[in-house]
Amino acid sequence: MAFVLIGGTGKTALRLAQFLQNDNHQFLLASRRGQSAAPQGMPAIKFDWMDKSTWKEPFLFPFVGGEKISAIYLMEPLVAEPWKPMNKFINYARQEHNVERFVLVAGTSSQVGKPGMGMVWQHFLQTGVDYCVLRPSWFMENLVQEGPLSVIKNDGKIYTACGQGKIPFISATDIAAVAYRALTDPKSHNCDHRVLGPELLTYDDIAQKLSTSLGRRIEHVNLSSEDRYQNLVDAGASDYYARFLVNLEIAASGGSETHINDDVLRVTGRAPKSFDLFAQEYRAVWL
Ligand SMILES: NC(=O)c1ccc[n+]([C@@H]2O[C@H](COP(=O)([O-])OP(=O)(O)OC[C@H]3O[C@@H](n4cnc5c(N)ncnc54)[C@H](OP(=O)(O)O)[C@@H]3O)[C@@H](O)[C@H]2O)c1
């Protein structure tokens, strides 16, 4: 039994790889940068959703004992109509290499058949393959990504178009913990999990919590959709990504993320991490 993590150098996949490594499971990270972006001691290969010639690479990897790939963790590329290459790859992995299970990380707004990851979800249902769709809310780790991190650190600001929208921020570690169960449990989950953090917070609340943790004022600046788009483009975001994020933030300002549940506790047996704990853990990074 071996596992392939596509988007393997990303926030959730690296944490998922750590869970697999701790339990002595064989795994392989797959992304465009391959080994150059992987942590030492974690096997990785070059894989690009948009380059079909790389799709065979995971299946050529020499797992110990000749183990075969039993399940694949899937993450979309940031391109138009990402479901098209993804569904083709799923067919290829099933038909040519007998992969039996797929775990997809999508978003809370995903719905079966809706353009986006809903099209991959629909493909799972239509083909009858074993699957799980993770629908996480917004990651706490976004705040320690290069862009937002330096704005918090240098300017004491968080820019969004989220207004007073409440969001159940979730740690990537908790998403990975749910993914770990979905990949390795003997019985496939064959459902979606809406992976939400423990409390509903506005970005004003986040700024307040960071101010308390860091001992200096951090301010949430709420922008109009036009200003937020320009703010993202000025910071180096592509037009596609800036539009995508602004749309999500405007939807969040209208309450699209305002949900709470106990899926993390139910699936993993552990309650999800609070933002206060996350802020404590990463305090040094923002200082
Ligand atoms: N961040 C959030 O708040 C949030 C909320 C809800 C849902 N999500 C969803 O959760 C998923 C994970 O997000 P994330 O923020 O953890 O992602 P991330 O850290 O940015 O990681 C993305 C990964 O995908 C790889 N990748 C990008 N294009 C690729 C391609 N064409 N072929 C193969 N690999 C490719 C990247 O590595 P290389 O550069 O090496 O290829 C990287 O490892 C995404 O699907 C996102 O939409 C995110």
What does the domain layout of the chain look like in residue ranges? 2-135, 140-168+198-259+273-286
10 lines ligand 1 (CB under 6 A): yes
Cα(31) to centroid(ligand 1), Å: 10
What is the number of the ligand 1 atom nearest to the C-alpha of 32?
41
Q: Provide the pLDDT for residue 80.
A: 87
CA 286 to chain centre: 22
Cα(72) to centroid(ligand 1), Å: 15
Is the Cβ–Cβ distance between 48 and 82 less than 8 Å?
A: no
16 lines ligand 1 (CB under 6 A): no
What gap in Å lies between CA 131 and CA 165, rounded to an integer?
Answer: 31
Residue nearest to atom 24 of ligand 1 (CA): 7
Cα(135) to centroid(ligand 1), Å: 14
33 lines ligand 1 (CB under 6 A): yes
Q: Provide the pLDDT for residue 133.
A: 98
Is the Cβ–Cβ distance between 278 and 140 less than 8 Å?
A: yes
DSSP symbols for the chain: -EEEEETTTSHHHHHHHHHHHHTT-EEEEEETTGGGGSPTTS-EEE--TT-GGGTTHHHHS--GGGPPEEEEEEE--SSSSTHHHHHHHHHHHHHHH---EEEEE--TT--TTSTTHHHHHHHHHHHT-EEEEE----BGGGGGSHHHHHHHHHH-EEEES-TT--B--B-HHHHHHHHHHHHHSSS---EEE----SS-B-HHHHHHHHHHHHTS--EEEE--HHHHHHHHHHTT--HHHHHHHHHHHHHHHTTTT-----HHHHHHSSPPPPHHHHHHHTHHHH-
105 lines ligand 1 (CB under 6 A): yes
Residue nearest to atom 6 of ligand 1 (CA): 107
Same fold, 2-135 and 140-168+198-259+273-286: no
What is the number of the ligand 1 atom nearest to the C-alpha of 12?
16
pLDDT (tens place) for every residue of the chain, 287 residues total = 999 999 999 999 999 999 999 999 999 999 999 999 999 999 999 999 999 999 999 999 999 999 999 999 999 998 889 999 999 999 999 999 999 999 999 999 899 999 999 999 999 999 999 999 999 999 999 999 988 999 999 999 999 999 999 999 999 999 999 999 999 999 999 999 999 999 999 999 999 999 999 999 999 999 999 999 999 999 999 998 899 999 999 999 999 999 999 999 999 999 999 999 999 999 999 98
Q: Which fold has domain 140-168+198-259+273-286?
A: UDP-galactose 4-epimerase; domain 1 (3.90.25)
Neighbours of 78 (CB within 10 A): 10
Main-chain dihedrals φ then ψ at residue 121, nearest 5 degrees: -60, -45
What gap in Å lies between CA 126 and CA 145, rounded to an integer?
Answer: 37
For residue 160, the cross-strand partners are 222
Q: Which class in CATH covers the domain with range 2-135?
A: alpha beta
